[in-house]
A and B are shown apart, each in its own frame.
Chain A
């Protein structure tokens, strides 16, 4: 009931929207992984998506930069509709940064080269300028002294911070986080979350798939709960945690908060 009202976005607001998904469906073979997803994300909004494993939350955000293709419905990112047009897809990917669960740094390049590669080759930024930007963001994630090391020489937390810096170097409007802390040792989670909190405070539009509920309470404008490929419930964090509406949400929250 409450979710029906949430995704009805007035047309006047539509041009402010960072991401708009209308009636999106996706199948993996016979498996219906996303069912009628309707989601509107305003610029500057910070959204946390949670849900049990296999609920389609990663697939949802991977559709936004077309790492996964949707088969029905409409996805509009920064005013550009995602279609099979490769140029549009590349255009969107330049605007949308992504941070992965397993960092996916390029192991054959130094930390700084990881940060400058895409700006130099995709955005045609001059090398000196790209390095300056790279160092700026490495400083922002608090590891400028590691710039000339290789990713394999860093800890997991440091690698994930490099991955965030690497995405920021493309100067994205939207950042997607796909379980950024779930592959980390416990003592390294907070250093990554701190960087993400700093990013949120700077006004970045963020969509995070995460189970860090403390993070969700602190920075999210909206928490979305997914199960079975559907958005079951969405609300501001206060209401979401203190007053969950659906039984599945209640069950999920009790499971992750009391283990």
Chain B
């Protein structure tokens, strides 16, 4: 056509830019939205559905919503949208459960300090990372005393814990405790020591083969038969242990997958330089295996975090448990949509953050090597 076909002497052909038709937004739309008659119809239909749904949802969600009514009926008299008032009025309860009101600053403080403690673990460009890391190590002790009291602080029973505070507590403790246990189990399952290997396999297969709810029931009821009478083993602590063991079994298998992806040559190179088993694992194999396993590990963490809602079955009052009692209140009956949406938003924000962090970590650890 109009293309000027230049000719170059052999060996002198320069790099040319791609032709105009193969880049830009028009080309993208033509290829992805209007590539055929069917696709064009589907695109237009989709646009029409969005036009129908989005404004109606926005009306309900924000524009016609009521935030400051005293009861459900008042909401409905004022507008036809969502009645967020129930969330506003019961916000504190959804956050803290029945934690004594005058002591809730301790929960807030523990929550704030959690971020300070996590920063040096999650990011390597935090100023003063070394000193902060010391804080990260002692943080669990601080958090324990802040939440349960002791050391001069007024004690609070764990039966009073509830709401999102309980979700975060079980979720974060489970995540932090299950990762090292999962690594040990994964290494144990690949160990050459038969006894160790068999123990790890039995543990992993048993825990994975049983639903989490069963384990929680064991924690809440069955354990009482085995413990000496009169011993007071905190229910929340038992739940934490079960959640940790459950996640660790899954993590072990995820990490084992990562370990198996490490070429034999890496082990041989490490051994040929006289490294001991632990140095080889700690310096060469695990850093690479963990990197490969990041998506699976975060997947397990997100699963664990959402599974914390199951504790409602053994009587702990997580947000879903509290929502039952809120909905039973005659003033707010029938507003389940609003409460469940609120809880869903909270879970989505937590889990989406974890997912984004895992992508950040994968990019950061990318070393431009091909496997």
Nearest residue, chain A, Cβ from B272: A98
Nearest residue, chain B, Cβ from A120: B283
Within 8 A of A (CB), among B271-308: 271-276, 279, 283-284, 287-288, 291
User: A94 — which chain B residues lie within 8 A by C-beta?
Assistant: 273-274
User: A96 — which chain B residues lie within 8 A by C-beta?
Assistant: 272
- Which among B266, B273, B276 has the greatest number of chain A C-beta atoms within 10 A? B273
User: A148 — which chain B residues lie within 8 A by C-beta?
Assistant: none
CB distance from A209 to the nearest CB of B (A): 14
The 8 A CB mask of A134-170 against B (1 = contact, 0 = none) is 0000000000000000111100000000000011001
- Determine, out of A2-10, A28-36, A43-51, A100-108, the stretch whose residues face the partner at the interface: A100-108
The answer to whether A122 touches B367, judged by C-beta atoms less than 8 angstroms apart, is: no
Interface membership of B13, Cβ < 8 A: no
The answer to whether B268 touches A67, judged by C-beta atoms less than 8 angstroms apart, is: yes
The answer to whether A93 touches B272, judged by C-beta atoms less than 8 angstroms apart, is: yes
Interface membership of B265, Cβ < 8 A: yes
Interface membership of B23, Cβ < 8 A: no
Nearest residue, chain B, Cβ from A90: B274
Interface membership of B152, Cβ < 8 A: no
The answer to whether A67 touches B274, judged by C-beta atoms less than 8 angstroms apart, is: no
CB distance from A190 to the nearest CB of B (A): 24
Within 8 A of A (CB), among B312-349: none
The answer to whether B271 touches A93, judged by C-beta atoms less than 8 angstroms apart, is: yes
Say yes or no: A107-B369 contact (C-beta < 8 A), given A100-B268, A121-B283, A122-B279.
yes
CB distance from B192 to the nearest CB of A (A): 12
The answer to whether B268 touches A104, judged by C-beta atoms less than 8 angstroms apart, is: yes
CB distance from A103 to the nearest CB of B (A): 8
Say yes or no: A118-B275 contact (C-beta < 8 A), given A108-B288, A108-B365, A152-B367.
yes
Interface membership of B209, Cβ < 8 A: no
Say yes or no: A122-B274 contact (C-beta < 8 A), given A107-B367, A150-B368.
yes
Docked pose: A167 CA to B370 CA in angstroms: 23
Within 8 A of A (CB), among B220-267: 263, 265-266
- Which among B266, B271, B272, B368 has the greatest number of chain A C-beta atoms within 10 A? B272
CB distance from B291 to the nearest CB of A (A): 7
The answer to whether A108 touches B271, judged by C-beta atoms less than 8 angstroms apart, is: no
The answer to whether B265 touches A152, judged by C-beta atoms less than 8 angstroms apart, is: no
The 8 A CB mask of A62-93 against B (1 = contact, 0 = none) is 00010100000000000000000000001101
User: B276 — which chain A residues lie within 8 A by C-beta?
Assistant: 90
Interface membership of B134, Cβ < 8 A: no
Interface membership of A117, Cβ < 8 A: yes
Docked pose: A153 CA to B276 CA in angstroms: 29
Interface membership of B269, Cβ < 8 A: yes
User: A105 — which chain B residues lie within 8 A by C-beta?
Assistant: 269
Nearest residue, chain A, Cβ from B264: A104
Q: Name the interface size band of chain B.
A: 20 to 34
CB distance from A228 to the nearest CB of B (A): 25
CB distance from A79 to the nearest CB of B (A): 17
The answer to whether B291 touches A104, judged by C-beta atoms less than 8 angstroms apart, is: no
User: A65 — which chain B residues lie within 8 A by C-beta?
Assistant: 272
User: A90 — which chain B residues lie within 8 A by C-beta?
Assistant: 274, 276
Nearest residue, chain B, Cβ from A122: B274
- Which among A91, A96, A100, A108 has the greatest number of chain B C-beta atoms within 10 A? A108
CB distance from B6 to the nearest CB of A (A): 31
User: B284 — which chain A residues lie within 8 A by C-beta?
Assistant: 106, 117
Say yes or no: A117-B283 contact (C-beta < 8 A), given A98-B272, A100-B269, A106-B266.
yes
User: B369 — which chain A residues lie within 8 A by C-beta?
Assistant: 107, 150-153
Nearest residue, chain A, Cβ from B368: A152
User: B263 — which chain A residues lie within 8 A by C-beta?
Assistant: 102, 104
The answer to whether A100 touches B265, judged by C-beta atoms less than 8 angstroms apart, is: yes
Nearest residue, chain A, Cβ from B266: A104
CB distance from A229 to the nearest CB of B (A): 21
The answer to whether B291 touches A106, judged by C-beta atoms less than 8 angstroms apart, is: no
The answer to whether B368 touches A153, judged by C-beta atoms less than 8 angstroms apart, is: yes
Docked pose: A121 CA to B269 CA in angstroms: 14
CB distance from B274 to the nearest CB of A (A): 4
Docked pose: A259 CA to B97 CA in angstroms: 81
The answer to whether A67 touches B271, judged by C-beta atoms less than 8 angstroms apart, is: yes
User: B288 — which chain A residues lie within 8 A by C-beta?
Assistant: 106-108
Docked pose: A166 CA to B265 CA in angstroms: 15
The answer to whether A118 touches B274, judged by C-beta atoms less than 8 angstroms apart, is: yes
Docked pose: A65 CA to B287 CA in angstroms: 25
CB distance from B255 to the nearest CB of A (A): 16
User: B272 — which chain A residues lie within 8 A by C-beta?
Assistant: 65, 67, 93, 96-98
Docked pose: A118 CA to B268 CA in angstroms: 13
User: B370 — which chain A residues lie within 8 A by C-beta?
Assistant: 152
Say yes or no: A121-B279 contact (C-beta < 8 A), given A67-B271, A93-B274, A108-B291.
yes
Docked pose: A65 CA to B271 CA in angstroms: 9
| Extra inter-chain contacts (14) besides given A93-B271, A93-B272, A152-B367, CB under 8 Å | A98-B269, A100-B269, A102-B265, A104-B268, A107-B369, A108-B288, A118-B275, A121-B275, A121-B283, A122-B274, A122-B279, A150-B368, A150-B369, A170-B274
Q: Which 5 A-B pairs have the closest CB atoms?
A: A152-B369, A104-B269, A104-B265, A93-B274, A118-B273
Q: Which residues of A are interface residues toward B (Cβ below 8 A)? A: 65, 67, 90-91, 93-94, 96-98, 100, 102-108, 117-118, 121-122, 150-153, 166-167, 170
11 contacts between A and B (CB under 8 A): A91-B274, A93-B273, A96-B272, A97-B273, A98-B268, A98-B269, A104-B263, A104-B268, A106-B269, A122-B275, A152-B369
